[in-house]
Amino acid sequence: MIWTRLAASLLAFLLLAALAVHWRAGARERAAMASYPPEGRIVDAQGRKVHAVVRGRGPDLILIHGSSGNTRDFTHSFVDRLTDRYRVIVFDRPGLGYSDRLPKGAEGIHEQAAVLRAAALELGADRPVVLGHSYGAAVALAWALDAPDHAAAVVNVSGPSHPWAGPLPRLYQVNSSTLGAAVAVPLLTAFVGGARVREAVAEIFAPQPMPVGYADHIGAPLTLRREPLRANATHRAVLKDEITALAPRYAGFPVPLEIVHGDADTTVSAKIHAERMVADTGQARLTVLPGVGHMPHHTNPDDVIAAIDRAARRAGLAAD
């Protein structure tokens, strides 16, 4: 009898603790969305809501952010440098920011590219230059390979393109598992503080400093919501297998390809990815940035913009 009572008490405690964690997580999510509302418009694409920021005039340029990101990575300062000669469309990838998550088992780079491509068509962008940063570059590559008639060119900024050694980082292993998604993710949402987020963001910029105001603008609390954490972990969990399957298709890459990569990038290696992409495609143009880390669109924006302009010219688009 005493063991039954103890078990019942323990179960009641665990249920109360779980309710408290989810209540705190929900409160933090509501606060994040109030502090960082959508910057753009919601587009219906294949029955899913996609958040898009549209600014400027000229040839269409799509910007796709990396892991754990959202439109605010680009709107901090980068977009404003482009709107004088491009119509810039910045998307939240599915499951992140304010875009709907895709169905379980169909959340990879090809499915994301298809939904974003449909959203671009809804906005009248049928043949844009597609720029992807980091994970977003893999989505951009899939976009062009799957639907070359709907991509004028691709700009790959610090993106993965080839298989790499090593296991999936532990955080993604946990958060993409059934138990981790149910237990670990709500704990992260409820208790991870702003200081830890700023530290993690600063590590991504290294060896360059994080731009002034970036951490406040990016809306890191948005990425700490439960569903974006789960979606991001699921995306990363399958990425290596998707890249492994994608790489044999690079020969004869169907549209002009520009690559910008820092040689001090410790997140995505230029040697493993960018240099091999040049060899495999036979037409990619690589800009290597000495001493630059993973975020050249912030630390070296002129070099990235020059690559965009080259891509547009190679595609026969007139960017004034």
What domains lie within the chain, and their CATH numbers?
38-163+243-314 (3.40.50.1820)
Instruction: Assess whether pLDDT exceeds 90 at residue 50.
Output: yes
Instruction: Assess whether pLDDT exceeds 80 at residue 151.
Output: yes
Rounded mean pLDDT, 293-313:
98
Cα–Cα distance, 270 to 273 (Å, whole number)? 5
pLDDT confidence of residue 15: 63
Alpha-carbon distances, residue 259 vs 23, 251, 310 (angstroms): 44, 16, 11
Listed range (15-29, 61-75, 110-124, 218-232) with the worst mean pLDDT: 15-29
Rounded mean pLDDT, 190-196:
83
pLDDT confidence of residue 166: 93
Rounded mean pLDDT, 14-34:
83
In the numeric block, which tokens belong to residue 65? 């952010």
Rounded to the nearest 5°, which phi and psi values hold at 93?
-65, 155
pLDDT class of 199 with cuts at 50, 70, 90: confident
Rounded mean pLDDT, 102-112:
96
pLDDT confidence of residue 195: 78
Rounded mean pLDDT, 285-311:
98
Rounded mean pLDDT, 130-158:
98
Instruction: Assess whether pLDDT exceeds 90 at residue 188.
Output: yes
Instruction: Assess whether pLDDT exceeds 70 at residue 9.
Output: no
pLDDT class of 320 with cuts at 50, 70, 90: low
pLDDT confidence of residue 16: 67
Q: Which residue stretches of the chain are H helix? A: 2-35, 72-75, 109-122, 135-146, 170-176, 178-182, 184-191, 194-205, 214-217, 220-223, 226-246, 275-281, 296-299, 301-314
Instruction: Assess whether pLDDT exceeds 60 at residue 7.
Output: no
Instruction: Assess whether pLDDT exceeds 60 at residue 216.
Output: yes
Cα–Cα distance, 250 to 247 (Å, whole number)? 6
Rounded mean pLDDT, 85-103:
97
Instruction: Assess whether pLDDT exceeds 90 at residue 306.
Output: yes
pLDDT confidence of residue 193: 80
The sign of the torsion formed by the CA atoms of 299, 142, 101, 53 equals positive
pLDDT class of 87 with cuts at 50, 70, 90: very high
Question: Closest Cα to residue 137, out of 252, 296, 264?
Answer: 296
Rounded mean pLDDT, 228-240:
97
DSSP structure class, residue 219: T
Rounded mean pLDDT, 252-276:
97
pLDDT class of 17 with cuts at 50, 70, 90: low
pLDDT confidence of residue 194: 74
